[in-house]
Amino acid sequence: MCPGEVFDVTPYAKTVAYHFLRNPLNQSLPRKFKIAFSGCRHDCALTPIHDVGLLATKNNEGVIGFRMSVGGGLGSTPRLAHLLREFVPMEELIPSIEAVIKVFDNLGNRKNRSKARMKFVLDKLGIEEFKKRWEEAYHTLQEAGPTRPSLTLLPAHDDPPLIMPERPKALPDVHSNGTTSNGKGHVSPEMESLPASFVTWRSANVLSQRQPGFVAAKIKLPSGDLTADQLLALADLADTYSNGNLRTNIDQNMIIRWIPEIKIHEFYDELAAHGLGTAGAEKVEDIVACPGTDTCGLGITSSKGLARALSELFPPGETPEDLKGVTVKISGCHNSCAQHHLATFGFHGVGKRIADHVAPVYELHVGGQVNGTATIAQLIVKVPAKNVPAAVRHILDLYRQDRQSGESLPAFLKRTGKAKLKTELIPHTMLPTFEEDPSYFYDWEGEKEFSVEDLGPGECAGGALEIIDNRMLEAEQGLYQAKLLAEKHQYGMAVNKTYRAIVSGTKAILVTEGIDPNTDADTLAEFDQLIIRKGVMPAAYQNLASQFGDLGSKDASAEFTQGKLDFARRFLEACQTATEQISRNLKLAPIEEKKDHQPEPPATQEAIPDSEHTLERPQAPVLDLRGVMCPLNYVKTKLKLEMMEDGEALEVWLDAGDPIKNVPMSLRNDGHKIMAEEPLDPTKAHFKLLVEKGEG
């Protein structure tokens, strides 16, 4: 259908999707992982904003393949993908993607959800180091797995309907640029006798296919919405006029291909009868908006309400020549679900407090694009929601007043620059007080005063023993699930689950060191450095990363899988034994000591006598946490208390500032009693806290 298509990527996308469906390799990634295929140089699938982007291309010999980019993404920290391979031959397509997934699985952040995307792995490593890791993973997979046959494509049926197309004499062809077959960009005499609504719709929404006699129709869905009845009607139309296939696209619309051109008028009449005959699909008036506060729990503003307000600036089917290629995208929060970072005009909703009231406000980004050189839009100003239409109109007026000959709006925005645009828009950023104009504090189409739900403070650090117990439980659950999978002969999945159980066990042990690594690779490295080398776990478990591996081949045998299960069981038993022997100073006893005798309780650090600052109950053991930052000081204190009897006292030494402010409050919330809180030295740089363990 696309005039610039290099080749149809549909069967390749389907083959890759089915290959990774329930594949052990990607069942426990740090977070979501997105793959995009584009068949043309316009890059309609937006490959630069995906974890893996595959753009159809040909090499110098004319062989088809893909240009592979990695590490793209939007959200609150947008990143454009980096080029990994200029040309990927088809036989290397799946192995290349597998190697990327393996690097992400090993190095992706598993501690902080907001940092758990592959783009942050690229940020940390840089593209050159990432390439090295990818090459290592690629060769490791090739050596570990069986010899791969050539890529076998799954069928992706989209054949033309069993209707003989005829070239209508009365209807000239309409090209993708909106011109008719006479090439002059206006409606020909043959079209003048037809209804104006149909002529407008056909010019804006219909594309000629490369196959003579067939066209594709874009069905514009305002903000991506349609009713159940409309969807059923579209299904019937696809059966009647095409081959039964419907496609969605990235701009919230639908496309029906393979419509005989002779039938397009009839098709439109039925489409319009169901309220789906609106012109302007993928034009400036086709504004993309996320659900916003209508249905999304993360939405801050009514993005759909703003979209309807802006639609008055861009009447359907009446796109001016100078706004061709211009896009408007609106997200109700910073997560960029509407991809506002890639729009000519991109908006995302925030709130701004004025005294006791909060107003809906939008950050205005301009100049984003993908077609050609991918560019992230630039933030210009924050505009009250009520002023957004006026601000957009102001920029359009400025463009038409100051543009150079033949200059497009995106080119004008780039030439004008942020400083000038910001200066021009300052009047539209003004926000009156609620008393001066309460309408500013109501969102578009809102019936109640705007508010931003207070999500409250972040969750307090949990007790160390609970963390250890939870992680050991997670490890045991993973091993149990692995056993069930093995019994069902799903050996690859079983090995992957077993690996995850081992990682959970190592993370449980590392809590005793007051650390919580972000990635699997860091976890296993710290385990070697802090646990194995200190002799608190058997040396047989040194270098777990290379000893076990994280992947289970689809062709893994029952014997191979059972060996991994046995290894993991022995390891987790050792972890359980170690955690049960945690001493009062949070240190694991060396394994040699545990074999020969029960270690003596470690000596506690005695408090320095101070006649001016002497606490009662001097026999209380001392936990010296000077220099230990929040929240690890709280975790270590809670761990200590968990190993004490109810009513026993513990003296804790803390730094001034946040530690002495936060730890006592957290301990009170846990039900412990703060019996005394005094400076440890005259300078008040450190404090001592006497805590009585509460019940439970």
List residues with catalytic annotation. 630
In the β-sheet with 206-208, what is the strand arrangement from edge to edge?
Answer: 206-208, 214-219, 254-260, 247-248
Phi, psi of 44 (to 5 degrees): -65, -25
In the β-sheet with 52-58, what is the strand arrangement from edge to edge?
Answer: 35-38, 52-58, 64-70, 82-89
> In terms of DSSP H, where are the helices of 378-531?
388-402, 409-425, 464-487, 491-510, 520-526
Instruction: Please say whether the dihedral angle defined by the alpha carbons of residues 615, 617, 622 and 628, taken in this order, is positive or negative.
Output: negative
Q: Give the Cα separation of 234 and 246 in Å (integer).
A: 8
Q: How far is CA 188 from CA 129, 202, 269, 555, in A?
A: 58, 13, 21, 63
Residue 422: CA count within 13 A, CB half-sphere: 10
Query: Among 485, 488, 495, which residue's Cα sits nearest to residue 564?
Result: 495
Task: Give the type of residue at 300.
Answer: I
Count the residues in the chain: 696
Q: Cβ–Cβ contacts within 10 Å for residue 486, how many?
A: 21
Q: Which residue has the tokens 């440890």?
A: 680
Instruction: Please say whether the dihedral angle defined by the alpha carbons of residues 391, 394, 400 and 403, taken in this order, is positive or negative.
Output: negative
Mapped onto helix, strand or coil, the DSSP state of residue 132 is: helix
Report helix, strand and coil shares of the chain as percent, to nearest 5.
40, 15, 40
Q: Give the Cα separation of 590 and 446 in Å (integer).
A: 65
Q: Give the Cα separation of 244 and 255 in Å (integer).
A: 11
